[in-house]
């Protein structure tokens, strides 16, 4: 993609931008503390994904978060604040830092829009050296954020201001970026390289891997029968390579097109690594004091015809094994919300969430949220849900540590955003892949409960791997 040259009328915006920055600097002088000035500018209708795949330069931190069905997308790049945390208190440390920075934000002009602070967490509180491109917990605020919500598109420019900050260069840089985005025109999508054609073939696991996974399911069923567990989620990582580099500009548009009911995400790490995916699972969403979360567990493939699809859905709704798996997730989420002082509301029995190649049992859960309750406190209390770990949580996580041969990293862990006004959106990083140049690691898992069949669970893992395998080519 290419970007049209900036328009020559960019600079007349310099003066109002400079005045806004002076307002922010006066606050910094009054408080004798650094402030974050957040400036908003209306834009023509843009595709934030096209912006993200075009404007950032090599090495800049990047983040993308999109819910196609809600008409919302956020492209963010160029780190202004980039902090990492590890250890058992990583959620609390990230929360403390977030609240400190939020208190220093001044939106100019005064409006309830942005900035968006992005947070990501790994499944466990440590990571192996192989995943050094990411941290167990990250708080990221970028200089530039292009936000589309339905028919409105906005640039949010964030700057750090101290009493000594030189404002003129900042104002000029912001004015130039506004002009560049107002003139933004992505070039026609190039013809895909040979070997990048889409395929509907399921990824093939080697016979040793198949046997190992089947044995793991049987061992888990033994632990369940011995009443050591009620549920265990087993995960598998499939490592693949290409002669040429894996490309987000190919994978992300494919994911968006093929999985419009999922959250499309991309988070950059060090050494040109990216964690990308199409997750169907919302951990929590907070809008104007109302929290919504999802119990999502129990899976079945889609049918080739309407009649077959309906039959598979009805079978999913009425299979005791799938019902038990779903109920464990629902009960856990309800307990955690009640422990936080909330009154969760939901309907029974569960419905179906139908995606392009798979369908799940689905129960939305809502609750009114007290103003003083932090979104990150709720994220900590909900992670990991039985949908990605098991029941009881501690025993399930210990078994994951002992039995899984690869570090889950950011797989099945929370990632999302928080704004200064109490709004937030976090998802669970499933149906995901870690890509770095010619290498990619694809993740998928399956929940094991009493009555699980090893062959069916293996088929479920392969079905979930298909989403990323097809997108990556």
Residue 448 contacts by C-beta under 8 Å, 6 or more apart in sequence?
Answer: 217, 220, 221, 224, 231, 232, 233, 234, 390, 457
Catalytic residue (choose from 106, 231, 325, 457): 231
d(CA 122, CA 88): 12
Q: Is 412 in a helix, a strand, or coil? A: coil
Instruction: Select which of 66, 106, 281, 325 is catalytic.
Output: 281
Phi, psi of 295 (to 5 degrees): -95, 115
Distance CA 136, CA 383 (A): 13
Query: 193, exposed or middle or buried, with CB in 10 Å at 0-12, 13-18, 19+?
Result: exposed
Q: How many residues belong to the chain?
A: 473
CA angle 77, 262, 284 (to 5 degrees): 80
231 a catalytic residue: yes
Residues 6+ apart with CB under 8 A from 394: none
* Count of Cβ atoms closer than 10 Å to residue 102 Cβ: 17
CA distance 4 to 430: 36
- Catalogue the E-assigned strands of 389-438: 390-391, 414-418, 424-428, 432-436
Task: Supply the Cα-derived Rg of the chain in whole angstroms.
Answer: 23
Residues 6+ apart with CB under 8 A from 180: 3, 6, 10, 55
DSSP H/E element including 177: helix 167-182
- Cα–Cα distances (Å) from 287 to 110, 186, 199, 210, 374, in that order, read 19, 32, 38, 43, 13
Catalytic residues, by residue number, are 231, 281
């Amino acid at each position: 993609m290419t970007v049209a040259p900036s328009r020559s009328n960019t600079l007349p915006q310099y003066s109002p931008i400079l005045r806004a920055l002076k307002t922010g600097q006066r606050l910094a002088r009054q408080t004798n503390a650094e402030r974050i000035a957040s400036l908003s500018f209306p834009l023509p209708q843009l595709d934030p994904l096209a912006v993200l795949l075009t404007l950032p330069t090599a090495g800049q931190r990047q983040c993308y978060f999109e819910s196609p069905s809600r008409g919302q997308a956020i492209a963010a790049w160029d780190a202004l604040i980039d902090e990492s945390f590890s250890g058992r208190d990583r959620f609390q440390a990230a929360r403390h830092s977030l609240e400190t920075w939020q208190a220093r934000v001044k939106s100019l002009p005064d409006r309830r829009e942005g900035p968006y602070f992005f947070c990501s967490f790994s499944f466990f509180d440590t990571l192996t050296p192989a995943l050094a491109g990411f941290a167990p917990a990250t708080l990221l605020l970028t200089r530039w954020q292009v936000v589309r919500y339905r028919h409105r598109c906005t640039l949010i420019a964030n700057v750090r201001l101290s009493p000594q900050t030189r404002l003129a260069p900042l104002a000029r840089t912001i004015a130039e970026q506004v002009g560049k985005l107002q003139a933004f025109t992505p070039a026609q999508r190039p013809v895909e390289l040979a070997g990048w054609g889409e395929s509907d073939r399921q990824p093939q696991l080697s016979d040793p891997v198949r046997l190992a996974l089947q044995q793991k399911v049987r061992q888990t069923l033994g632990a369940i029968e011995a009443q050591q567990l009620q549920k265990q989620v087993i995960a598998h990582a499939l490592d693949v390579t290409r002669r040429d580099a894996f490309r987000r500009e190919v994978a992300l548009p494919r994911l968006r097109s093929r999985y419009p009911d999922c959250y499309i995400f991309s988070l950059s790490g060090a050494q040109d690594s990216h964690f990308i995916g199409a997750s169907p699972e919302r951990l929590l969403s907070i809008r104007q004091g109302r929290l919504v979360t999802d119990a999502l567990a129990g899976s079945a493939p889609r049918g080739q015809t309407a009649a077959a699809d309906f039959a598979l859905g009805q079978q999913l709704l009425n299979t005791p094994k799938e019902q038990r798996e779903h109920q464990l997730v629902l009960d856990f989420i309800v307990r955690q919300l009640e422990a936080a002082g909330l009154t969760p509301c939901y309907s029974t029995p569960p419905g179906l969430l139908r995606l392009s190649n798979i369908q799940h049992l689905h129960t939305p859960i809502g609750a009114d949220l007290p103003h003083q309750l932090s979104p990150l406190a709720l994220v900590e209390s909900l992670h990991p849900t039985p949908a990605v770990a098991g029941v009881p949580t501690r025993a399930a996580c210990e078994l994951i540590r002992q039995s899984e041969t690869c570090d889950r990293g950011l797989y099945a862990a929370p990632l999302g955003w928080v704004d200064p006004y109490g709004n937030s959106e976090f998802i669970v990083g499933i149906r995901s892949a870690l890509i770095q140049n010619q290498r990619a690691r694809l993740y998928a898992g399956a929940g094991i409960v009493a009555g699980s069949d090893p062959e069916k669970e293996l088929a479920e893992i392969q079905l979930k791997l298909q989403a990323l395998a097809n997108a990556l080519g």
